[in-house]
Structure 1
Amino acid sequence: MMMLRSGWQRHGALSRRLLSTAAPSSAVTEAMERFQSVPKFQQYPHAFPVSMSLQEYQHKFDSLEPKARCTEEAVVLAGRVVAIRHASKNLVFLDLQSDGATVQVLSEAKHFEGRGEEASTGDKEAAKKEFRAVHESLRRGDIIGVKGFPGKSGKGELSIIPRQLEVLAPCIQPFPNSKYGIKEPEIRFRKKYLDLLTNPDVRPIFETRAKVVRGVRKYLEDRNFVEVETPMLFSAAGGAAAQPFVTNSRALGKDLYLRIAPELFLKQLVIGGFDRVFEIGKVFRNEGIDATHNPEFTICEFYQAYADYHSLMDTAEEMISGIAKDVTGSYKVLYPADDGNNTEQSGENENEEPAMVEIDFTPPFKRLPILETLEECLGEKLPDVNSPDSIPALLELCERHNVDCPKPHTCTRLVDKLIGHFVEPKCVNPTFLYNHPKCMSPLAKAHREQEGVTERFELFVTGKELCNAYTELNDPFDQRQRFAAQQQDQQRGDNEAHSKDDEFCVALEYGLAPTGGFGIGIDRLVMLLSGKSHIREVIMFPAMKPTDHRRKRRQRRGWAIRNAHQILRLKLSGHELGNYVSIGFIGSGRLAERIARDLIKNVAPQRKFSYKKQRLVSTLLASDPSEERRRVFDGLGFKTSAANQDVLADCDLVFLGTDVREALARQPTNSQTLYVSLMGDLPALQVEELLCPGAKVIRMMPHCYLEKKGLPKGVLPPSSWATVRGSHVNDQDLEKVMQIAGISNSVEVDENLTSWSIPNDQGLIHRFVSSMSDHAVAASKVVHEIEDDMEVEEVVADFKDTYTLGRDLGSGMFSTVFKAKHCESGETYAVKSIKDDAMTQEGCDVLIAEVGALNRLKHPNIISHYGFYNEDGKYLLVLEYCNRGSLRGLIDKHKAIPEQLAKKLLKQTLSALEYCHSMGQVHRDVKAENILLKEGEDGNLTAKLADFGLSEELQLANRRLQTMCGTPQYLSPELVSGRLYGTPADIWSTGILAYMMLSGLVPFDEAKSDTELFKLISLGAVWYDQPEWNAIAPAGKAFVQSMLDISPDSRPTAAQLLKHEWLQDT
């Protein structure tokens, strides 16, 4: 039985807490027990002063003779025990490691004095007992302090002979054997401390990195460059062609971007008078991770006034070749020939040495004009690579030479792909590629002699870019044009195109001297000089995928497959599986493949499914149409197609995978098809099938409505369709179902009011929805053993898994709006939140009206709707985020809005109203607060009509409304008078809005009560004789007056107003 150390008796609470954590391993428990077993040790001491480092110890005493003992020399060392060798019970050898050096501890009992009373009294027996107890408790990985004297072993190895030994920090986790090290990349890069401790070849990589950074800094400082720091957070992402990371500032109330390059700030410093300036720091690019790319990496950029790209080539040669010589001792270095293109693995194969190629950094470097070299490789003349008209020709070149270029197809991307395919692989030794086309270099100065190219170069080594430099563009007019061209690429879908930076253009207008700018990737230079083919090897803590991402992906697939088993094995309304001859899949191709394979193996093997004969169909969306996946499906006997309309029209049963909205938007109008959702809101069987003959499901989850010619359109909350959250279906909801479906009172509700169905002969296709208890019973009968790697937990796709709520954007009568981010895409949305317990009948009607309208109305000037959720006692409506707030804020800021901007916003608002009215929808609450503004990448504002909670659908063309609702200031005369009203009421409200925008005045502000206000409105008491109206064009005043006509029948429609002369110059 081991005795507890006295120290651990004092720290018993900590010990108990550590031992009580969730399921400690047996190794950890054993380590804790042995650490508590030796008395007279101070646990985790605050300090342990050493007399010298291990390196200093080696340097000072390495000249000792074998078997020497310097007993008069007192030394105190500390380090980690990496090896233990017990020669006898009185002789133990330890290897002590610290800061890259290793010293042997030759521990002999005859020299050991111990700690406490035996050390002062010279009690040899007590010291010998402590010697044995201490050394029996030591384990590899423990950090110890040693007080002793220097000496050498009989074989001449420098050692320290301890008189006292103290454990400073125990290693309670299993410590890897330093002899073999850690080879598994996942462990190496996630636990860099273990990689450094057990793999001796790792530390020199980072010592090389330090030398490289130090060399770059010294080279520039010796030439009078000044090192500066520029912001990591930008208000606009610029300086390089890359997709940025986006974050949000609560204090500033706006989105910010992690910098993708410090270029624009450094050039502003040159404008400010720093003729030579540089920065070494981190940049961040939201791109893929592979052998040469990490989202966070280190670069050096410098800018030199009165230099051009020719002088920068000479500087690059001198600096890089000099650093290579200083770090490695030679201009020639060896580098793995296979450049580590495997994105999952890194590090050399432990059983096979990689082939090496020699790279020669001896100056001068090879120099190639980039377009001429590409034409030489192609054997033909290139079209005008800067013109969008050349895109078809460039695309044809790519296709002819099997160069893959994913969309969007822009000149920049196509030319870059061709260069990457033909030219870059030839650049093994350092090679300058220069004179890039303008389309690829928006910040570089146009070539002084050659049309269509810029004074830019890139240095390539082993086929990979190492540095980038150019003569800086200092013409502000040309710069604005380049930014405009990049914005066109962004509009085509190129997320890596440069963003516009007006502040930088303004700075250029103060004058930027002729300047050369240069940037080099520190990580890639370290890779070259240390012979490492993967960027993870040269970054201390590289970006890694979450440890459980594969497990979660398997869980979701396995859960979907299990649901498919249940559905296929159950009797769906009395129909056996055999009645479903043709089965289709919509969603992820990989998910469909796994289900297909499993059906072959497990579901109905006795039927000997011949998929071609039985016409089992798998449909691939554009999300995964790769040729490799198509070959897999063809091998399974599946027919594959990206055209759902053609393939699914023949299916009797369709499984809905991940992209449900897109799938249903494209589905064929086949009323006999049963649609089954595999990736729904429930962790159990869920069948989503509610189709009228000839009807179309507009949205499946979590909110739906039917659209059928001749029937009214409507919206139902999820509880109306089924008990997707276990709630009851009430009579009111059933009435709405029957009204929309156009059926009689023959709806059948089960005993527990947890599911319902409608007979086929009543015009609505059968719907099968089991209650939650039914699911559990059915699942227990049919679930069978799945392959080990498909063993899953139930996964719930809910709001919290999809979005992260941010700050409060404002509150209304029934709701609060929050800013939110999509967890996967990082895109920003607005979320309207309504608490369940605060939901009145009026609030419920408002919510139903708003969701229904937004589902039906799709227009560029109407706010978009992305989902509806009900969880944690809240209703959550996901909407498009408008980054410039509401029109109310713009009016408050400027009072009178500039006439040209007012025209644009009013035209967009009327365009939205014209569309609403054509769809039979009256907004009923048009006001400044409900016109939201969104600023695009080009800086232009777009108006978005929002808040349809009070809107009403006019079922008949001549129908009008009588309910009084809206905001008092914007109410029309017919509405305050209690008369019937319709679309002209929205025109009046828009007229009030136009009056405020143009004049900065508030109509009817002399009213002191609602009674007076309504009287003034009914009289049409709007005045235009104020001085503010003098600056408005007569056509503008007439435009407003026409909308504020007291007679609704005399007011123009939205369509007529859009043709008004005042709006024709926008």
Structure 2
Amino acid sequence: MIRRQDGDSELLRLDEHRLAKLESLRARGVEPYGGAFARTHQIAELVTDFDRLAGSRCRVAGRLMARRVHGKVGFGDLQDGSGTIQLYLREDRMGPEAYGLWNELDMGDIVGVEGELVRTRRGQISIDVDQLTLLTKSLASLPDKWHGLRDVEVRYRQRYVDLIVNPEVKEVFRRRSQIITGIRRFLVDRGFLEVETPILHPIPGGANARPFVTYHNVLDAELYLRIAPELYLKRLLVGGFEKVFEIGKNFRNEGISTTHNPEFTAMECYEAYADAEAMMKLTEELVAALAEEVCGSRQVTFQGRVYDVTPPWPRVPMIEAVRQQTGVDLRGASDQEAREQAAALGVEVPPTASLGEVVFEIFERKVADHLHGPVFITDFPVEVSPLARRKEDAPAWVDRFEPYVAGWEIGNGFSELTDALDQAARFRHQAQLRAQGDEEAHFMDEDFVRALQVGMPPAGGLGIGVDRLVMFLTNQTSIREVLLFPHLRPKA
């Protein structure tokens, strides 16, 4: 070994043995970093369709995951993106020169082979190789097959190795792709139009969050990475589109946890002439459809517990969820009485907190994590919902919901606020909160208010946290397990 390639561990290392092989190959005229290799099959096809393909010639390529030499006979395990197959190599079939190349290879090398598809005397489906091509010489050792790669931080920092040696990890990301494709298909089939809205925003909006700030030199303007596409998507409803959606990245300059990453994938959709109830139906139908497609059933097993996502899901007002979990009934309570009840529960609230603010704080701290669901929490306080329509019979509350499953909030939706004057007043209140030090409060977006003045039809909106939904449907407890390249602290 001549040096460690990465300070994280001794996982990847360059060694004199492999470097010497590299120079030896080049000296013999063998190019260790070749070009394209025309394949006739994926490995999985050869294995699953062996009875039909047995005896035929095939050309496959992949990474050498194991290598065994017994004199003039060798065996290897070749892995491509679809699966693994055994290689059977004989000097009398390949010739001394080609077999000599086999003797120079290492685990991790990428090769192309050609030969006959056979079953060995021990019953192993194999390729009887007669042609061998080195495509990429690996200079770093992979983990051995018995111990694999288990250090969690190294797995995230070197995801490329994680994907090579841990097949179950690759399967999670195949399912993630399947889920995102399923969301897109579900919405398109229901008449929604997929659109793209800006990532760089002159004014951050659409959620209570602390934004990332950047600067555009030519425009001489401060810009923000978007925290949500909501206000742009609703502008499209003003413009006459009636069903729109977007799947993309949002960015929030906040903490990292098992369910939070500073950049994350979300789906947002809006439907003119709909409301929160329509969006709840859309949510439960979407999750049920994805569960059937990805898990094969509406009965989803997560961490040993079975969740039935079959619609309809219960709808529970937030104030009732607080009563059910804590025994504290705040219906009809005054602001002062609510603050006293919060203190009795050990929940700190500001001395001027309103009833709605108290209900929300108690819910967040004492209730949310206990919601196994699936369940919709409905009827949010107006103070924490600056973009949602007030309930006609209770204007201190809004027609908003959040779906919960396995103790996680996986989305947010509501009947949209279309009253330009009310929206402007709520933005002004948010601006006051910012002035008082609340970095997550909304900015005043005068152009969005102007759009509402033009007139937006009544509408329902829905946002789904794709990463958390993938976690649930793939039985993962950390968001980093469903992000190919999660953010980590820099190495010291």
Q: Aligned to 1:533, what secondary structure does the other structure show?
A: coil
1:136, distance to aligned residue in structure 2 (A)? 2.6
Match of 2:270 in 1: 303
Matched, 1:230 2:197: yes
Deviation at 1:214, TM superposition (A): 1.1
Cα shift at 1:382 = 6.0
Counterpart-to-counterpart distance in 2, 1:102 and 1:90: 23
Alignment pair present for 1:30 and 2:17: yes
Q: CA deviation at 1:47?
A: 1.8
1:447 aligns with 2:396: no
Does 2:42 align with 1:42? no
For residues 463 and 390 of structure 2, the distance between their equivalents in structure 1, rounded to whole angstroms, comes to 19
Q: What is the deviation of 1:397?
A: 3.9
Please give the secondary structure, in 1, of the residue aligned with 2:394: coil
Which amino acid letter does the alignment assign opposite residue 513 of structure 1? Answer: P
Q: Is structure 2 residue 431 aligned with structure 1 residue 487?
A: yes
Aligned pair 1:221/2:208, yes or no? no
Percentage identity across paired residues of the two chains: 37
CA contact (8 A) 1:426 1:463 kept: yes
* 1:209 and 2:157 correspond: no
2:125 aligns to what? 158
Question: 1:747-758, aligned counterparts within 5 Å?
Answer: none
Q: How does 1:993-1032 map to 2 (within 5 A)?
A: none
Is the 1:37–1:137 contact (alpha carbons within 8 Å) kept by the matching residues of 2?
no
Establish whether residue 367 from structure 1 lines up as the match of residue 315 from structure 2: yes
1:423 aligns with 2:367: yes
CA distance in 1, matches of 2:332, 2:17: 73
> Which of 27, 39, 42 in structure 2 is aligned with 1:53?
42
Contact 1:179 1:198 in 2 (8 A): no
Alpha-carbon contact 1:447-1:453 (below 8 Å) kept: yes
C-alpha distance in 1, partners of 2:259/2:351? 23
CA distance in 1, matches of 2:13, 2:346: 57
The structural deviation recorded for 1:146 is 0.9
SS of the aligned residue for 1:428 comes to: coil
Distance 2:339 2:480 in 1: 34
- Shift, 1:447, TM fit: 0.4
For residue 15 of structure 2, what is the amino acid of its counterpart? V
* SS of corresponding position for 1:172: coil
Q: TM-score of the superposition, structure 2-length normalised? A: 0.92
**Quick check: 1:383–1:393 contact (8 Å CA) kept in 2?**
no
Alpha-carbon distance, 1:526 to partner:
0.6
Write the mapping of 1:195-274 to structure 2, written as runs, cut at 5 A: 195-274=162-241
Instruction: Kindly state the Cα deviation for residue 317 of structure 1 after the two structures are TM-superposed.
Output: 1.4
- Superposed displacement of residue 535, structure 1: 0.4
For the pair 1:498 / 2:442, whether they are aligned, the reply is: yes
Cα distance between partner residues in 2 of 1:259 and 1:313: 25
Q: Could you say if the C-alpha distance between residues 395 and 22 of structure 1 is closer, same or farther in structure 2, counting changes exceeding 3 Å? A: closer
Contact 1:64 1:152 in 2 (8 A): no
Give the Å deviation of 1:49: 1.7
Match of 1:100 in 2: 82
Once residues 340 and 275 of structure 2 are traced to their aligned partners in structure 1, the CA distance between those partners, rounded to angstroms, is 36
Paired letter, 1:543: H
Deviation at 1:373, TM superposition (A): 2.8
Inter-partner Cα distance in structure 2 for 1:79 and 1:325: 32
SS at match of 1:94: strand
Amino acid at match of 2:58: V
- Tell me, in whole angstroms, the C-alpha distance in 1 between the residues paired with 2:238 and 2:146: 57
Query: 1:527 corresponds to which residue?
Result: 471
Alpha-carbon distance in structure 1 between the residues aligned to 2:13 and 2:206: 54
* Count of residue correspondences: 483
Question: Which residue number corresponds to residue 67 of structure 2?
Answer: 84
- Deviation digits for residues 850-881 of structure 1 (CA, Å, limit 9, x no counterpart): xxxxxxxxxxxxxxxxxxxxxxxxxxxxxxxx
Aligned to 2:57: 74
Structure number with bigger Rg:
1
| Corresponding residue of 2:104 | 137
CA contact (8 A) 1:41 1:166 kept: no
Give the direction of change, closer, same or farther, for the CA distance of 1:34–1:466 in structure 2 (3 Å limit): same
Where structure 2 has 5 or more consecutive residues not aligned to the other structure, the ranges are: none
Structure 1 position 398, deviation (Å): 3.8
Alpha carbons of structure 1 residues 444 and 183: separation in structure 2 relative to 1, 3 Å:
same
Cα distance change, pair 262–106 in 1 and its aligned pair in 2 (3 A)? same
1:282-321 correspondence to structure 2 within 5 Å:
282-321=249-288
Residue type matched to 2:395 in 1? E
SS of equivalent residue, structure 1 residue 423: helix
Distance 1:275 1:484 in 2: 28
Change (3 A) 1:44 1:446: same
Superposition RMSD in Å: 2.5
Q: Which amino acid aligns with 2:444?
A: K
Alpha-carbon contact 2:47-2:125 (below 8 Å) kept: yes
Output aligned runs, 1:655-674, within 5 Å: none
Amino acid at match of 1:99: G
Aligned-residue offset at 1:324:
0.9
Offset at residue 128 of structure 1 (A): 2.3
The whole-number CA distance in structure 1 between the counterparts of 2:246 and 2:77 is 42
**Structure 1 residue 56 displacement after superposition:** 2.9
Offset from partner CA, 1:354-389 (integer Å, 9 cap, x none) = xx222111211111011233245342436878xxxx
SS of structure 1 residue aligned to 2:140: coil
Task: Report if the CA contact (8 A) 2:75-2:86 is conserved.
Answer: yes
Give the letter for the 1:128 counterpart: P
TM-score by length of 1: 0.44
Report if the CA contact (8 A) 2:322-2:359 is conserved: no
Letter in 2 for 1:359: Y
Q: Tell me if structure 1 keeps the 8 A contact 2:13–2:141.
A: no
Q: 1:191 to 1:424 in 2, by over 3 A?
A: same
> Structure 1 residues 296, 357: closer, same or farther in 2, change over 3 A?
same
Partners in 2 of 1:415 and 1:297 — Cα distance? Answer: 28
What residue in structure 2 maps to residue 379 of structure 1? 328
Question: 1:379 is matched by which residue type in structure 2?
Answer: V
Superposed CA deviations along residues 466-509 of structure 1, whole A, max 9, x for unmatched, are: 11110000000000111112122222322111111111000000
Measured at CA, do residues 184 and 252 of structure 1 come closer, stay the same or move farther in structure 2, by a change above 3 Å? same
SS at 2:426 equivalent: helix
